Amino acid sequence: MKLAVGNKLYSSWSLRAGMLLRAFDIPFEETVIAMYKEDTTANMYAFGPTGKVPVIQDGDITVWESLAIMEYVADRFPEKNIWPKDLAARAHARAASSEMHASFMGLRSSCPMNLTASFKPKDRGEAVTFDLARLDELWHEARSHFGAGGDFLYGEFCAADAMFMPVVTRIDTYQLDVNDSMTPYLKAMLNHPAFLAWKDEAFQEPWFLPHYEEGETLDTRFYMPDEGRE
Ligand SMILES: N[C@@H](CCC(=O)N[C@@H](CS)C(=O)NCC(=O)O)C(=O)O
């Protein structure tokens, strides 16, 4: 199985697919395509039909769009609990993942994924506050109804957690004000070995995207890619 992704420091959709395959120990070969370069679009079209990543190629089968990738991996490896086993939990996990795919635009546009640093808290406006309140409600519902068997939304780590991984990093990066009840989930996600492995690889990348930091005040720099070094 081959997986094409964008910059691991910045590509939130890539992290979702990368997290899923790593968390479930699925062997794959990864190609990283640098974003915002002259040949980015051509390189992405070489993998999939939308000129975007992530894309999975598995023999003759090509799968694009993050949610379709989750479903394909679940079909391909039925022995792994990519989605929760319980019907009600699985339905909730799929609905939550679809909501992640289609919504939370305030948070996604105001707080782009950026693993290089953390930024000082500031007022990020009503849309972000609204999204954080909805996340709190959704995560609380998942954890309280289905989460008893582990630290993740539905107990054991599943595709829904992979879908929310970039949001968890945004909460961390921008020091967003979230309900204390979310703290154990955030910690479990940020310490998941699949995320730590992704971050280690991200911290080798040379590409710096300064426009991802416009309007931000740096708190802590964790990693500066070569392109951003003086
Ligand atoms: N709806 C797609 C979104 C994919 C997407 O927008 N990926 C971004 C990277 S995070 C991309 O490939 N952008 C193209 C580019 O940077 O040129 C999915 O769910 O996978």
Classify residue 224: in a domain, yes or no.
Answer: no
The finding on whether 48 has its CB within 6 A of some atom of ligand 1 is no
Q: Using pLDDT thresholds of 50, 70 and 90, give the confidence band for residue 230.
A: confident
Q: How far is the CA of 53 from the centre of ligand 1 (A)?
A: 5
CA-to-CA distance for 228 and 206, rounded, in angstroms?
Answer: 8
How far is Cα 6 from Cα 33, in angstroms, rounded to an integer?
5
**What DSSP character marks residue 86?**
S
Domain that holds residue 14: 2-80
- pLDDT tens-digit profile of 172-210? 999 999 999 999 999 999 999 999 999 999 999 999 999
Residue 221 lies in a domain: no
Distance from Cα 110 to the centre of ligand 1, integer Å: 17
What would the pLDDT profile of 97-110 be if each residue is shown by its tens digit?
Answer: 999 999 999 999 99
Q: How far is the CA of 145 from the centre of ligand 1 (A)?
A: 32
Measured in angstroms, how far is the CA atom of residue 64 from the centroid of ligand 1? 10
* 15/32 same-domain check: yes
Rg (CA), the chain: 17
Measure the CA–CA gap between 33 and 43, rounded to whole angstroms.
7
Q: Are 67 and 134 found together in one domain?
A: no
Residues 92 and 65 in one domain: no
Q: Is the CB of 66 under 6 A from ligand 1?
A: yes
